[in-house]
Amino acid sequence: MIWKIKERQKKWLEGETGTVVKNWGGKVSIALAFPNRYAVGMSNLGFQHVYYALNRYETVVCERVFYPEPEELELIRQSPGHLLSVESQRPLLDFDLVAFSVPFENDYTNLIEMLLLARIPPRAKDRAEVRPLVAAGGVALFLNPEPLADYLDFLFAGEAEPLVPEFLDFLHRLGHGSASRCEILEEMAKSIQGIYVPSLYEPVFREDGTLDTLTPLVPGIPERITVRRADLLTSEPCRTTVFTANTEFSNVMLLEIGRGCGHGCRFCGAGFVYRPVRYHGAEKLLETAAPDCGTNRIGLVSAAVSDHPEIVDLCSSLLDRGGSLSFSSLRADSLDSQLLSALESSEHHAVAIAPEAGSERLRRVINKNLSEDQIYRAAEMLAQRGILNIKLYFMIGLPTETKEDLEAIVTLAKGIHHHVVSGSRGKKRLATVTLSVNSFVPKPFTPFQWTAFAGTVELREKAKWLQKALARVPNIRLHFDLPKWAYVQALLARGDRRVSFFIDKVARGDSNWKQAMRSSPLNPDFWVMRERERDEKFPWEVLDHGVDRNYLWQEYERALEARQSPECRPGKNCKRCGVCGP
Ligand code: SF4
């Protein structure tokens, strides 16, 4: 029956352009693994970029591996060892390195299950053979690698651009010598800045369950791992290089125009660990999106696309070539007539705005500095250009949230709908406002790393209340996430090595999350529902992003007082968070 899996993979290959298929002779072989299905992985720009970056080296063969499709999962479970790479359909055990790209915490169990399906012992201490080494990178792990510490031989702590060449250089120097797995890892930890080898650090916990120390076990390795950042001025922009119809962005070239975000929203992990905000120059971006790049549909990607200093010129140059543009995110306060013209000429009928909170007070708490007027104005401007489907992102369970803040979501949604309708006079299509309401999950390295998760009961009640309050309003739709999954995410986001107890049980199919939590001697509420003390040592602080802890605490205090903070402005002699110097 394994032929069915091979057939599926062959079909994927036939439907792709830009795939790299290499001869293996004498090369370092890397299985680049994504712990979710093909369609999800192929929509991920970070995954695509690493595939491209590794395969540019003649001495490397890099092939992709995905979590099995639902109909094939049982087949591979019955026949472990048959988790195969897409390109040459080889088992993972044939590779020198299995490197996972992990953007989301809730995929951790898939990662462990993939190792089991590949017949690779999931815990690092049980792997005796030198090959394959098992590593990972990705934003979820830059925020906190500790829940997966027992499974990984090493972590790429930082961005691929500076790390990949140094890592490959190390592997080539190593050659096919006789060094043991432990010797290789130790040498890697000593010689490459940004490589974290968890087995070389020992955590000690206090009686109250909090972390006491996380100590290096061998001399010559750093106490904290300095996370590596790319210089975007000298590096090539990330872009889609493998096109397939089987993704969310079928036939769209995603193009990263900048990294990080200067707005300092206090809930957003990426806004702190990708500091300072950096941009690629328009000239280089235009070269990357040259007419021969494979498509004329370009999706501009960054935390806030409209913040790019040359965005108007970039959009008009791309549109002058024909084709269309889409944007990963737009801020309501930076929409202007030129950006709207770009949206209009690309025939967008739907745009997302993220107020995140209903009231201006709560938006000050999270430092999302958008006024009600700016949001209404944006909705009206979009409607005037014929964009009548507005998606609004909100969070519930934010620190200090009250009933009035929930009522403000209802008022804002109705107000936006009203402005869209009045801005669309004379247009024939129906105006629709869709609210996507997600549970707030506190993330490491943000000012809210000290705060507690709201809890599933409270979140369900709030969602129910919102549903009722908006039930009779025509043309307003509501989507909610499931608080039980937000609870799991909260556990994995701020957990330490002990949460591997839950990950293991779920990944091995011994129990579902609820059963695993019930059977545990450890109460998961300890990691999820607990407000932390100011001086508590956090497991994720084994990584050093350069963001000063005191700055984060001050931002937390300002949040509780609903005080806004200014934007991050690199190059203006700012030293506020510590990333641009002490
Ligand atoms: S030091 Fe200032 S400019 Fe630099 S990342 Fe921090 S807030 Fe931004």
Question: Closest ligand 1 atom, CA of 569?
Answer: 3
Whether residue 67 sits in one domain with residue 168: yes
CA-nearest residue for atom 7, ligand 1, is 568
Look at residue 533 and tell me if it is in a domain. Answer: no
Cα of 562 to ligand 1 centre, how many Å?
A: 21
Whether residue 400 sits in one domain with residue 489: yes
Question: Closest ligand 1 atom, CA of 572?
Answer: 3
Whether residue 271 sits in one domain with residue 212: no
Look at residue 247 and tell me if it is in a domain. Answer: no
Whether residue 220 sits in one domain with residue 96: yes
The distance from CA 453 to its chain's CA centroid, rounded to whole angstroms, is: 20
- Of 226, 244, 273, which residue sits at a domain end? 226
Whether residue 303 sits in one domain with residue 261: yes
Q: Quote the pLDDT of residue 573.
A: 85
Q: What's the CA angle centered on 108, arms 104 and 111, to 5 degrees?
A: 115
CB 128 within 8 A of CB 157: no
Q: What is the percent of the chain with per-residue pLDDT over 70, rounded to a whole number? A: 98
Q: Mind listing the pLDDT tens digit for each residue in 202-257?
A: 999 999 999 999 999 999 999 999 999 999 988 999 999 999 988 887 888 999 99
70 burial type by CB count under 10 A (0-12 exposed, 13-18 middle, 19+ buried): exposed
Q: Mind listing the pLDDT tens digit for each residue in 109-167?
A: 999 999 999 999 999 999 988 789 999 999 999 999 999 999 999 999 999 999 999 99
Residues in the chain: 582
- Asked if residue 337 has pLDDT above 90, the reply is no
CB 368 within 8 A of CB 406: no
Report the largest interatomic distance among the alpha carbons of the chain, rounded to a whole angstrom.
Answer: 76
Question: Closest ligand 1 atom, CA of 547?
Answer: 6
What CATH number does the domain containing 415 carry?
3.80.30.20
Residues 6+ apart with CB under 8 A from 236: 284, 288
Whether residue 100 sits in one domain with residue 181: yes
Instruction: Output the CA torsion sign for 155, 159, 163, 164.
Output: positive
Look at residue 33 and tell me if it is in a domain. Answer: yes
Domain extent at residue 465: 252-494+546-560
Q: Quote the pLDDT of residue 10.
A: 94
Cα of 281 to ligand 1 centre, how many Å?
A: 20
Cα of 571 to ligand 1 centre, how many Å?
A: 9
Q: CA 512 to CA 53: how far, in whole Å?
A: 37
Whether residue 282 sits in one domain with residue 156: no
Whether residue 177 sits in one domain with residue 38: yes
Question: Closest ligand 1 atom, CA of 570?
Answer: 3
Cα of 546 to ligand 1 centre, how many Å?
A: 10
CA-nearest residue for atom 6, ligand 1, is 577
* Binding pocket residue ranges, ligand 1, CB within 6 Å: 275-276, 568-570, 574-577, 579-580
Whether residue 124 sits in one domain with residue 40: yes
Whether residue 209 sits in one domain with residue 119: yes
What CATH number does the domain containing 147 carry?
3.40.50.280
As for how many domains the chain has, the answer is 2
Look at residue 116 and tell me if it is in a domain. Answer: yes
Whether residue 257 sits in one domain with residue 222: no
Look at residue 328 and tell me if it is in a domain. Answer: yes
CA-nearest residue for atom 5, ligand 1, is 276
Cα of 264 to ligand 1 centre, how many Å?
A: 10
CA-nearest residue for atom 4, ligand 1, is 580
CB 443 within 8 A of CB 142: no
Whether residue 97 sits in one domain with residue 24: yes
CA-nearest residue for atom 8, ligand 1, is 568
Average pLDDT, the chain: 93
